[in-house]
Amino acid sequence: MEHVDILHRHGKKVKKTFVTFQQRGKALTSTSGVARWQRVEDARYDRKVEAALATGEWEALGPRHDVTQGTKEMYNRGIRIDEVTGLEPFAFITALAGERDVYMSMSRYWLPQRKKKFVKEIAALYVDIDRPKESAKHWRPEVELAKALNTLRDAKKPLPSYAMYSGRGINLVWLLQSPLPVQATGRWQSVARRLVELLSVYNVDVPASLDVCRTFRISGTVNSKSGDTVTPLWIQGDPYAPFRHDFDVLNDALQPMDRESYLLERRMRERSAWSKTAAGERKDIRRSKDGQRHSRSQPTAKLTARSGQQRLSADLDLLREHRWGNGEIPSGARDSWLYCYTVALAWTMPPHALERSVRALGREIGWSETEAVANMSSVLDRAREAQHLQERQAGGEGIGDCDNVHGAKTKQDTRYRLSAEAVIERLAVSEQEIRELNLRYVITPEIRAERERERMAASRGQETTPMSREERKLTTLRRDWEIMEIIAANAWSVRKAAAELGMSSSTIGRIVRRLRPC
């Protein structure tokens, strides 16, 4: 029943989104099971024929697969329910009743393959509780489930959407209102770990509970290892539409601090780390000949290409939040902001992850995924070329012998890199925004020099910030003019002025020669 709800929410308008099913090959003995998987294979072959007609590549077509020949240990297939089976979700799930060892993925995929690199969305959190081997005879799923639910209630934590008896254990599943994009896998695993910690006394299968590619048995099917039928033990809400959780609410309830506090603390921690490097607070302790310890501030660490672009991405996040509140970006600034952000990300992640991030960011700022990838194609191509170069170099080829994906010789990294001045010009960043947001990479040369003076003053223990060279020149010029006015008013000679003002004759002479009217 809960799987029917997942399939009903499987977006038919979103193309190339797959839910994977698997069945043990040795269990394909019933006529209905063979016929079902044969329909899947026939539909796949028909699509290959259509592609061959369009491209003329008949060599890659291959023979039609017969399910009854060459039975595999585990038969895996990714299915788009409406297109492949010709059945509605409820009819498809109902037809699986009585089949042995049939599983369904809890995530959705870009391709019909259950691999982590193809994950598109995560639809649920789950905890897999196994039956202990040493006490299997006395183990009762209803009793263990009641204990687990009481543990959650006592801790005042959200209860699962449903609990399923898998034949040799219990699956507790928290369905999500909106599937999480794959970019949020880290957040998902953090919350999943909290659930595992809460229920750790119940023989939890930790790797399975933290696996985004995990599959669970479908209600009504048979576990061939125990001979028991997979049945729901407990459902929160409507049996055909169990209660779904908001992920942010789950995160706030399970994590030590809510999401807003965590983001604020992380931002302050990052700012503190950057300011420590920029302010030179790391000290080089040395010992002199007399045994006294002296501290000497180190110069500011020079940014590498990677660390500099990491700072740039953090600054662009702050700038976006300040200007547009993390919502859609106006069409006039959309391309410039995403271009700068994609260039920065290209230095921090591989090309396939970069493309996924571009797709997700495109949706957030008001583009479709196709538009975002098309507009950022030059940056993505450069990132692929850089990876190709690195792989060739890792294979033992010299830098001069490496060529890019177009066959041209190259001796350096091909990824784009943006300077602070280029970003300021593209996004029209004002000096007020730089100071107000305390940006660390997107700054003008004047602000950079000012911060360097503040760093030097802090390292010397000075309370006031030293003046810049221009300010010192202006101050000296004002003082010289004041001295010149005093000399002219009293008609002093150089020697008389030096004696009266307590200055050397050479200094007074230099002032007079420089400022005396021609």
User: CA of 432: how far to CAs of 188, 428, 443, 446, 454, in Å?
Assistant: 37, 11, 11, 13, 18
The token pair at 244 is: 């779904």
- Alpha-carbon distance 397 to 391, whole Å? 9
Mean pLDDT for the chain overall: 76
Which band of pLDDT confidence, cut at 50, 70 and 90, is reported for residue 57? low
The bridge status of strand 102-105 relative to strand 215-217 is antiparallel
Q: What's the order of all strands across the beta sheet hosting 231-235?
A: 107-109, 119-130, 169-181, 162-165, 231-235
Which conformational region is residue 334 in: left (phi greater than 0), alpha (psi within -120 to 50 degrees), or beta?
alpha
- Alpha-carbon distance 206 to 158, whole Å? 19
The dihedrals phi and psi of 105, each to the nearest 5 degrees, come to -75, 150
The bridge status of strand 241-242 relative to strand 231-235 is unpaired
User: Which DSSP category does 403 fall into?
Assistant: B
Domain boundaries, the chain: 2-28+71-253, 305-460, 469-515
Question: Does the domain formed by 2-28+71-253 have CATH 3.30.70.1790?
Answer: yes
On the 0-12 / 13-18 / 19+ scale of CB atoms within 10 A, 255 is middle
**pLDDT by residue (tens digit) across 69-128?**
544 444 555 555 444 445 565 666 777 788 887 888 888 877 767 778 888 889 899 999
Provide CB contacts within 8 A for 19, sequence distance 6+: 6, 7, 10, 78, 79, 80, 81, 104, 105, 108, 109
The token pair at 356 is: 């996924």
Which band of pLDDT confidence, cut at 50, 70 and 90, is reported for residue 400? very low
* Reported pTM: 0.45
Provide CB contacts within 8 A for 146, sequence distance 6+: none
Please state the length of the chain.
518
- Alpha-carbon distance 98 to 227, whole Å? 11
User: CA of 70: how far to CAs of 21, 65, 73, 402, 495, in Å?
Assistant: 19, 10, 10, 44, 112
Assess contact for 130 and 205: CB atoms under 8 A.
Answer: yes
Assess contact for 181 and 190: CB atoms under 8 A.
Answer: no
Q: What is the mean pLDDT of residues 182-188?
A: 87
Which band of pLDDT confidence, cut at 50, 70 and 90, is reported for residue 331? confident
- Tell me which amino acid residue 123 is: A
Residue 225 three-state SS:
coil
300 or 432, which is more confident: 432
- Alpha-carbon distance 414 to 272, whole Å? 32
Question: Going along 51-158, which residue ranges are E strands?
Answer: 74-79, 102-105, 107-109, 119-130
User: Which DSSP category does 245 fall into?
Assistant: B
pLDDT score for 55: 65
Does the pLDDT of residue 270 top 70, yes or no? no
Least confident among 66-80, 411-425, 431-445: 66-80
Assess contact for 121 and 179: CB atoms under 8 A.
Answer: yes
**CA nearest 162: which of 1, 338, 370, 395?**
1
36 or 458, which is more confident: 458
